[in-house]
Amino acid sequence: MDEPSSEEALDLERLAKSMVELCVRNTVLEDYHAGRFPRSRAGDYSDVRVVTPDGEIPWRDLSRISDDEMKALMIEVVDRVFTYLTYPEILGAIPGGRLWDRPKLDEALMKTVRRRQGQAAAPSSID
């Protein structure tokens, strides 16, 4: 696969920001993000604990999203991405993340891309 031209890359950046804002940011994730967040005088949250009926939980050990919340988020994101991909001409025209940093290729995901490209290019052997 060839690298995109600079114009194509800018289009992909705009599309990525639009997709993320419409399909991820503006979801139930906003509800999970709402509310108060603890302050840490130590700076590393080692001084923050959550008190529960079963005892204290250090902040670093605390899950910040429940299994039910994660399931609801993933269902909503998949449905929104599916809708976005079904109507990219309409939804892709909605600008998103104007003040966000420019996106870059994710190195961990690029390892998968390179591995898959290598598998596709490797000749198959038939015995």
The per-residue pLDDT for range 42-74, each reduced to its tens digit, is 999 999 999 999 999 999 998 889 999 999 999
Residue 95 backbone phi and psi in degrees, to 5: -65, 145
pLDDT computed for residue 124 by the predictor: 58
Q: Is the pLDDT of residue 121 over 80?
A: no
Residue pLDDT, tens place only, 95-106: 888 889 999 999
Q: How many Å apart are CA 52 and CA 64, to the nearest integer? A: 14
pLDDT computed for residue 97 by the predictor: 87
Q: Whose structure tokens read 């605390």?
A: 62
Q: How many Å apart are CA 24 and CA 70, to the nearest integer? A: 12
Residue 104 backbone phi and psi in degrees, to 5: -135, 160
